[in-house]
Structure 1
Amino acid sequence: MAETSDVDVPRGTKRKADELGGQSSDAPRRIRALDADVVNKIAAGEIIVAPVHALKELIENAVDAGSTSLEVLAKEGGLKLLQITDNGSGIDKEDLPILCERFTTSKLQKFEDLSSIATYGFRGEALASISHIAHLTVTTKTKNSTCAWRALYNAGKLVPSKPGQTPDPRPVAGRNGTQITVEDLFYNIPTRRRAFRSPSDEYNKIIDMVGRYAVHCSHVAFSCKKQGESSTSISVPATAAVVDRIRQIYGTSVANELVEYSTSDDRWGFKATGHATNANYHIKKTTLLLFINHRCVESTNIKKALEQTYAAFLPKNGHPFVYLSLEIDPQRIDVNVHPTKREVNFLNEDDIIQAICEHLRSTLAAVDQSRTFMTQTLLPGPDWATPAQDANGDNAATPDTTKSTSRRTTRHENTLIRTDTNLRKITSMFAPAEGSSQVINNGQPPAMTASDTQPLETLSYEIVDRERKPCGLASVRELRSGVRDKMHHELTEVFATHAFVGIVDERRRLAAIQGGLKLYLVDYGRVCFEYLYQVALTDFGNFGIIQFSPALDLRAVLRVAAEHEKQTLASAGGEEDDMDVDKVVEMISNQLIERREMLLEYFALEISPAGELSSIPLLVKGYTPSMAKMPQFLLRLGPYVNWEDEKPCFETFLKELASFYVPEILPPTPGNAEDAAAEKIDEHLGERRKHVRWAVEHVFFPAFKARLVATQSLMKVAVLEVANLKGLYRVFERC
Structure 2
Amino acid sequence: MTENMDLDAQPPRGVKRTAEEAGLPPEAPRRIKALDQDVVNKIAAGEIIVAPMHALKELLENSIDAGSTSIEILVKDGGLKLLQITDNGHGIERDDLPILCERFTTSKLKNFEDLMSIGTYGFRGEALASISHIAHLRVTTRTANSSCAWQAHYQSGKLAPAKPGQLSDPKASAGRPGTQITVEDLFYNIPNRRRAFRSPSEEYAKVLDVITRYAVHREGVAFSIKKHGETGTGFSVAAAATKIDRIKQAYGGAAAKEIMSFDTEDARWGFRASGYATNANYSTKRTMLLIFINNRSVESSAVKKAIEQTYQLFLPKGGHPFVYLSLDIEPNRVDVNVHPTKREVHFLNEDEIIELVCANIRENLAKVDTSRTFKTQTLLPRVTPMTPLNQRQPSGDATSPEDDSASRRTSTTKKPYENNLIRTDSKMRKITSMLPPALATSTSQDDSPIANGFQYTKTDREQVQVRLTSVKSLRAQVRESMHNGLTEVFASLTYIGVVDSTRRFAAIQSGVNLYLVDYGMACNEFFYQVGLTDFANFGLIQLQPAPLLRDLLDIAADLQFEIDPSCAGLNKDQIVDKIHNQILKSKAMLAEYFSIHLSDDGHLETIPLLLKGYMPCMAKLPTFLLQLGPRVDWTEEENCFRTFLKQLAEFYVPEALPPPKPKLDKGKGNERELDDEEMGNIDATQAPTEDTEQDPEEKAIEKRRKEIEHTLEHVLFPAFRSRIVATEAMLKGVVEVANLKGLYRVFERC
Query: Shorter-chain TM-score: what band?
Result: 0.5 to 0.7
The answer for the alignment partner of 1:116 in structure 2 is 117
Q: Give distance in 1, aligned partners of 2:183 and 2:26.
A: 45
Q: Is the 8 A contact 2:78 2:201 kept in 1?
A: yes
The answer for the alignment partner of 2:692 in structure 1 is 574
| 1:127 alignment partner, SS class | helix
Q: Is the 8 A contact 2:294 2:328 kept in 1?
A: yes
Q: Give distance in 2, aligned partners of 1:479 and 1:66.
A: 55
The answer for the alignment partner of 1:53 in structure 2 is 54
Q: Is the 8 A contact 1:150 1:170 kept in 2?
A: yes
The answer for the alignment partner of 1:646 in structure 2 is 714
**What amino acid sits opposite 2:96 in the alignment?**
D
Q: Give distance in 1, aligned partners of 2:112 and 2:422.
A: 55
Summarize the Cα distance change of 1:211–1:382 in structure 2 as closer, same or farther, 3 Å threshold: farther
Q: Give distance in 2, aligned partners of 1:141 and 1:72.
A: 18
The answer for the alignment partner of 1:208 in structure 2 is 209
Shift of 1:197: 2.3
The answer for the alignment partner of 1:480 in structure 2 is 424
Q: Give distance in 1, aligned partners of 2:112 and 2:170.
A: 32
Q: Is the 8 A contact 1:642 1:649 kept in 2?
A: no
**Greater mean alpha carbon deviation, residues 78-87 or residues 305-314:** 305-314
Q: Give distance in 2, aligned partners of 1:149 and 1:263.
A: 47
Q: Give distance in 1, aligned partners of 2:150 and 2:363.
A: 54
Q: Give distance in 2, aligned partners of 1:258 and 1:239.
A: 20
Shift of 1:646: 3.0
Q: Is the 8 A contact 2:295 2:328 kept in 1?
A: yes
Deviation digits for residues 91-141 of structure 1 (CA, Å, limit 9, x no counterpart): 000100000000000001111100000000000000000000000000001
**Residue 275 in 1 paired to residue 219 in 2?**
no
Summarize the Cα distance change of 1:483–1:263 in structure 2 as closer, same or farther, 3 Å threshold: closer
Q: Give distance in 2, aligned partners of 1:328 and 1:225.
A: 35
Shift of 1:164: 2.0
Q: Give distance in 2, aligned partners of 1:97 and 1:232.
A: 34
**What amino acid sits opposite 1:201 in the alignment?**
E
Shift of 1:578: 6.5
Give the alignment of 1:424-435 within 5 angstroms: none
Q: Give distance in 1, aligned partners of 2:26 and 2:54.
A: 42
Q: Is the 8 A contact 1:307 1:319 kept in 2?
A: yes
Shift of 1:577: 10
Q: Is the 8 A contact 1:159 1:167 kept in 2?
A: yes
Q: Which structure has the larger Rg?
A: 1
Q: Is the 8 A contact 1:140 1:174 kept in 2?
A: yes
Q: Give distance in 1, aligned partners of 2:422 and 2:397.
A: 39
Give the alignment of 1:529-540 within 5 angstroms: none
**What amino acid sits opposite 1:574 in the alignment?**
T
Q: Is the 8 A contact 1:259 1:368 kept in 2?
A: no
Summarize the Cα distance change of 1:640–1:297 in structure 2 as closer, same or farther, 3 Å threshold: closer
| 1:27 alignment partner, SS class | coil
| 2:254 alignment partner, SS class | helix
Summarize the Cα distance change of 1:570–1:66 in structure 2 as closer, same or farther, 3 Å threshold: closer
Q: Give distance in 2, aligned partners of 1:578 and 1:39.
A: 86
Q: Give distance in 1, aligned partners of 2:34 and 2:26.
A: 21
**Greater mean alpha carbon deviation, residues 341-350 or residues 24-33:** 24-33
Summarize the Cα distance change of 1:63–1:576 in structure 2 as closer, same or farther, 3 Å threshold: same
Q: Give distance in 2, aligned partners of 1:260 and 1:368.
A: 14
The answer for the alignment partner of 1:284 in structure 2 is 285
**Residue 195 in 1 paired to residue 196 in 2?**
yes
Give the alignment of 1:505-516 within 5 angstroms: none
**What amino acid sits opposite 2:204 in the alignment?**
Y
Deviation digits for residues 708-729 of structure 1 (CA, Å, limit 9, x no counterpart): xxx9xxxxxxxxxxxxxxxxxx
| 1:480 alignment partner, SS class | coil
Q: Give distance in 1, aligned partners of 2:316 and 2:276.
A: 20
Summarize the Cα distance change of 1:25–1:287 in structure 2 as closer, same or farther, 3 Å threshold: farther
Shift of 1:34: 1.3
The answer for the alignment partner of 2:733 in structure 1 is none
The answer for the alignment partner of 1:331 in structure 2 is 332
Deviation digits for residues 349-403 of structure 1 (CA, Å, limit 9, x no counterpart): 111111111111111111359x242xx36x5546849xxxxxxxxxxxxxxxxxx
Shift of 1:571: 9.6
Give the alignment of 1:295-444 within 5 angstroms: 295-368=296-369, 371-373=371-373, 376=374, 380-381=377-378, 384=381
Q: Give distance in 1, aligned partners of 2:311 and 2:365.
A: 9
Q: Give distance in 1, aligned partners of 2:25 and 2:120.
A: 52
Q: Is the 8 A contact 2:303 2:354 kept in 1?
A: yes
Give the alignment of 1:534-683 within 5 angstroms: 574-575=692-693, 642-646=710-714
Summarize the Cα distance change of 1:200–1:24 in structure 2 as closer, same or farther, 3 Å threshold: farther
Shift of 1:643: 3.8
**What amino acid sits opposite 2:31 in the alignment?**
R
Q: Is the 8 A contact 2:272 2:328 kept in 1?
A: yes
Q: Which runs of 5+ in 2 are unaligned?
A: 1-18, 383-393, 400-420, 446-686, 719-739, 741-750
Shift of 1:28: 2.1
Deviation digits for residues 679-709 of structure 1 (CA, Å, limit 9, x no counterpart): xxxxxxxxxxxxxxxxxxxxxxxxxxxxxxx
| 2:121 alignment partner, SS class | coil
Shift of 1:285: 1.4
Q: Give distance in 1, aligned partners of 2:109 and 2:709.
A: 65
Shift of 1:576: 9.6
| 2:355 alignment partner, SS class | helix
Q: Give distance in 1, aligned partners of 2:211 and 2:41.
A: 27
**What amino acid sits opposite 2:30 in the alignment?**
R
Shift of 1:209: 0.5
Summarize the Cα distance change of 1:571–1:26 in structure 2 as closer, same or farther, 3 Å threshold: closer
| 2:187 alignment partner, SS class | coil
TM-score (norm 1): 0.52
Summarize the Cα distance change of 1:418–1:55 in structure 2 as closer, same or farther, 3 Å threshold: closer
Q: Give distance in 1, aligned partners of 2:294 and 2:690.
A: 74
Q: Is the 8 A contact 1:81 1:184 kept in 2?
A: yes
Q: Is the 8 A contact 2:219 2:240 kept in 1?
A: yes
Q: Give distance in 1, aligned partners of 2:104 and 2:316.
A: 49
Q: Is the 8 A contact 1:138 1:181 kept in 2?
A: yes
Q: Is the 8 A contact 1:641 1:649 kept in 2?
A: no
* % identical aligned pairs: 59
Q: Give distance in 2, aligned partners of 1:147 and 1:316.
A: 60
**What amino acid sits opposite 1:172 in the alignment?**
S
The answer for the alignment partner of 1:144 in structure 2 is 145
Q: Give distance in 2, aligned partners of 1:271 and 1:364.
A: 19
Shift of 1:243: 1.0
**What amino acid sits opposite 1:291 in the alignment?**
F
Q: Give distance in 2, aligned partners of 1:571 and 1:174.
A: 96
Q: Is the 8 A contact 1:289 1:324 kept in 2?
A: yes
Summarize the Cα distance change of 1:227–1:485 in structure 2 as closer, same or farther, 3 Å threshold: farther
Shift of 1:160: 1.1
Shift of 1:287: 1.0
Deviation digits for residues 528-580 of structure 1 (CA, Å, limit 9, x no counterpart): x99x99xxxxxxxxxxxxxxxxxxxxxxxxxxxxxxxxxxx99986349969x
Shift of 1:645: 3.8
The answer for the alignment partner of 1:28 in structure 2 is 29
Q: Is the 8 A contact 1:270 1:328 kept in 2?
A: yes
Q: Is the 8 A contact 1:570 1:576 kept in 2?
A: no
| 1:367 alignment partner, SS class | helix
Deviation digits for residues 459-485 of structure 1 (CA, Å, limit 9, x no counterpart): xxxxxxxxxxxxxxxxxx986356899
| 1:107 alignment partner, SS class | coil
Aligned length: 421
Q: Is the 8 A contact 1:642 1:648 kept in 2?
A: no
Q: Is the 8 A contact 2:280 2:372 kept in 1?
A: no
Q: Which runs of 5+ in 1 are unaligned?
A: 1-15, 17-22, 386-416, 423-476, 488-521, 534-568, 592-635, 651-710, 712-735
